[in-house]
Structure 1
Amino acid sequence: MQENQTQNIAISDDEVSSYLRSHPHFFEQHASLLTEMFLPSPHGSGAISLAERQQLAQRDKIRVLEIKLANLIKFAEENDSISDKIHAFSIKLMNNQACEQHFSTLQNLIAQSMQHDFSVTQTQLHIWLPPADSALAEDAAFKPVNEAFSDWCTALSAPFCGEKPAVSAGLIDAKLLSLAFIPLYKAQDKKRAFGVLILGSKDSQRFKPGMGTMYLERAGDLVSTALATYL
């Protein structure tokens, strides 16, 4: 009989939680309970009071927020730095165009900017449209590539980042562990790429699948515009 009575008055954790939520003034009316309640320390060092546990929980939340804020500031600073470099790159390209420099000068400018300003190990430029000046056809940038590769580049909706794709076999230095393939388009034709700018790095984490490509796209637009005058 005693056991049955005990079972009848037993309540679940959910019922306790529900009761406390529906009676928010419970602990005001029973304040002494707060000083009598002790919980296991989250750091495994015995028991602590409810108030201490709340303080620890609050500190943990603040610490998480501080880390998130620090990361946001870091990303903002990195984006500002990249934006400044893209701006400087665009000015270099405009100055080059204004001076009507030779095609090889433009290639060197692109390679040096990518390597020095954007920490890229190596750059490659491949163009499969014929140049306006037939003398440029002998330049390495206009060396024919297989159609499967040019079709793959054209099919990209955004720069490709990651390990070397099989379709680029024979084009990429084995020492490059991560790459970005940036398709190049004429302003009036965004459906068919006329070439590709390849950025390669010895760092396997430099260009990763899923990374943001906004600045790579901007660099591609700038290079495309600069190259269009030679096509």
Structure 2
Amino acid sequence: MTTSHIPPITEDDIAQFLTNTPGFFERHAEVLASVQITSPHGARAVSLQERQAEMLREKIKGLEQRIMEMVRNSTENATIAHKVHQWTSALLEVKDPFDLPQAVVDGLRTLFDVPQAAVRVWDVAGPYIDADFTQGASEDARAFASSLTMPFCGPNLGFEPAGWL
């Protein structure tokens, strides 16, 4: 009696064979149709086609959620764009430069629902030196504003401009 020294076939051998022999399932379509794999939604085995259908349904559900999120974002963006258009149109209609800072504040409050807003301007021309919007900005506040690289928004009760509101 002779014993064979041929190593057993492993899963890796089968995977490599199937990868290197793409025509196998064309020649043996009945094998592909009968393949059963475990469902991620239970311990039962399902056909390859059913598993692929489950995966596609999950992918479609994820894509639908992304589409709905994009629709919500686009609606919000359109609303914001409309408000910005209304605001800039109102600002362009201001005839007297003296009224412009208050028009900025009014637009923020009414169109963007900002409950508190204030504008302070410094180093203005002579006719505007005594205007309300030029008063109350200390050197510290001016230095801080000059150091900002972007607008500052948000609560900060210990911050001098909070007193302007």
TM-score (ref. length: structure 1): 0.57
Structure 2 distance, partners of 1:2, 1:163, is: 84
Any stretches of 5+ residues in structure 1 without a counterpart?
174-197, 201-231
Q: Which of 150, 153, 156 is the matching residue for 2:145?
A: 153
Local SS of the residue matching 1:75:
helix
Amino acid at match of 1:171: P
Structure 1 position 45, deviation (Å): 5.5
1:120 matched to 2:123? The reply is no
* Match in the other structure for 2:126: 132
TM-score, normalization: structure 2?
0.75
Q: Deviations over 1:54-73 (max 9, x none)?
A: 01111122222222222222
RCO (CA 8 Å, sep 6+): is it higher in 1 or 2?
Answer: 1
Residue segments in structure 2 that go unaligned for 5+ positions in a row: none
Q: CA deviation at 1:2?
A: 7.3
Deviation of 1:52 after TM superposition, in Å, equals: 0.3
CA RMSD of aligned residues (A): 3.3
Could you tell me how far apart the structure 2 residues matched to 1:132 and 1:20 are? 86
What residue in structure 1 maps to residue 162 of structure 2? 172
**Structure 1 residue identity aligned to 2:126:** A
Judged with a 3 Å threshold, the aligned counterparts in structure 2 of structure 1 residues 107 and 170 are, in CA distance, closer, same or farther, namely same
1:73 counterpart (43, 52, 71): 71
Q: Which amino acid letter does the alignment assign opposite residue 53 of structure 1?
A: R
Which has the larger share of helix?
Answer: 2
* Runs of 4+ that moved beyond 6 A: 1-4
SS of 2:118's equivalent in the other structure is strand
Residue-by-residue CA offset, 1:131-182 (whole Å, 9 max, x unaligned): 532322xx255312343x4334333333345664x9x624337xxxxxxxxx
Q: Distance in 2 between matches of 1:142 and 1:158?
A: 23
- 1:84 Cα shift? 1.6
Q: Which amino acid aligns with 1:159?
A: P
- Output the CA distance in 1 between the equivalents of 2:151 and 2:5: 71
- Of the three residues 92, 95, 98, the one matched with 1:94 is 92
Aligned twin of 1:39: 37
Contact 1:89 1:113 in 2 (8 A): yes
Q: Structure 1 residue 63 and structure 2 residue 61: aligned?
A: yes
What's the secondary structure of 2:150's corresponding residue? coil
Cα distance change, pair 135–163 in 1 and its aligned pair in 2 (3 A): closer
Percent identity between the aligned chains? 26
In structure 1, C-alpha distance between the alignment counterparts of 2:81 and 2:14, rounded to whole Å: 56
Note if contact 1:27-1:34 (Cα within 8 Å) is conserved in structure 2: yes
Distance (whole Å) between structure 2 residues aligned to residue 143 and residue 40 of structure 1: 72
User: In the aligned structure 1, how far is the partner of 2:21 from the partner of 2:113?
Assistant: 61
Q: How many residues align?
A: 163
CA distance 1:34–1:160, change in 2 (3 Å): farther
Amino acid at match of 2:37: L
Secondary structure at the counterpart of residue 130 of structure 2 = helix
Which residue in the other structure is 1:144 paired with? Answer: 137
Partner Cα separation in structure 1 for residue 114 and residue 8 of structure 2:
72
Instruction: Please list the CA deviations of residues 60-107 of structure 1 after superposition, one character each: whole Å capped at 9, or x if unmatched.
Output: 22222222222222222222221121111111112112xx27x3x444
